[in-house]
Structures are given as structure tokens and as C-alpha cells.
Amino acid sequence: MVKISTDTVDHIAKLAKIPVSEKEKEELAVGFNKTLEVIDELFKVDVSGVEPTHQITGLENILREDKIDERKTITQDQALSNTKKKHNGYFVVDQILAED
């Protein structure tokens, strides 16, 4: 099993969009490596010819009509009621495209 370095932790933190401090990176790396030792136990089990589990109680293709159900909708005010940043009835998001 590979060892996780603080650089890898840094990379994963970026993918997860989670800010982590230098101290945290070190702590997380220690925890990750301990957890990976546990995960390593998996490979002692013979799974040749075994299908992976997809749905444990065997349900298949539970579908619904592609229609709006008014009972399940919430109003614009309700939708905006928990946001910290709104403007003219919209959510405010960070800019992702900018001119150089």
C-alpha cells in the first residue's frame, strides 16, 4: 500500500475544496496512513468471480414520471432563506471566469 505524504494530502484537499493548515496536513497524513493499513486487510480476501454490490436489497429501476410535483417544490423565498449571500432574489456565487 502506498504511503500518503503531506503533498498528497494537499492535492486531495484541493480536490475536496477544503482548506487545511500545515499542521492539519501532517495530522491528516498520519490518520490516512493508519486507515490505509486497515484498508489493506481487504486484499487478503479472495473475491475472484464475485460481483460487486450495487443495491443491497435487490431493487432495480425505481423510476418516477419526469413531471414537477407542486407538493415537493419550495418557494423562491424558502430557497433563499438560508443563504448568507443573495442579490435581487438570486444566490451570489464566486466569480469563476475573469479577464486576465
Partner 1 sequence: MKLNELTLKSAINLLDKKEISLKDVYSDVFQKINEKNKELNIYLAIDKKAEAEAEKQKNQPLRGLPIAVKDNFLTVGLPTTASSKLLDGFMPPYESAVTKKIKEAGGVVIGKTNMDAWAHGSSTETSDYGPTKNPRNPDYLPGGSSGGSAAAIASDMAIAAIGSETAGSIRQPAAWCGTVGLKPTYGRVSRYGAIAMGSSLDSPGPITKTVEDSALILNQIAGRDENDGTTSPLPVIDYTKNLKKGVKGMKVGICYIDHPKIKDTEAAKSIEKAGKFFETMGASVELITTSHNLEKNKVLSHEHAISVYTVVQRAEVSSNLARYDGIRFANDRSYFGHEAKNRIMLGIFGMSKDISREELVYVYAQKVRSLYIKNFKELFSNYDILISPVSPSFALPLGATSGDAMFGELQDMLVEPSSLAGICGISVPNYKDEKTGLYLGLNIMGDYFQEEKILQAAYAFEQGTKWNPWIK
Comparing CB distances to partner 1, the nearer of 43 and 99 is: 43
Per CB under 8 A, 99 contacts partner 1? no
Q: How far apart are CA 34 and CA 74, in angstroms?
A: 44
Q: Is 33 left (phi over 0), alpha (psi -120 to 50) or beta?
A: alpha
**How many residues are listed for the chain in this entry?**
100
Place of cell 413531471: 67
Q: Does 68 participate in binding partner 1 (rule CB under 8 A)? A: no
Q: How far apart are CA 76 and CA 80, in angstroms?
A: 6
Count of residues that bind partner 1 according to CB under 8 A: 55
Chain residues 37-56 in contact with partner 1, contact rule CB under 8 A? 38-47, 50-56
Say how far apart CA 32 and CA 26 lie, in whole Å: 10
Confirm or reject binding of residue 76 to partner 1 (CB under 8 A): no
Query: Given the rule CB under 8 A, which residues bind partner 1?
Result: 1-2, 4, 8-9, 12-13, 15-20, 24, 27-28, 30-32, 34-36, 38-47, 50-57, 59, 62, 64, 72, 74, 78-79, 81-85, 91-93
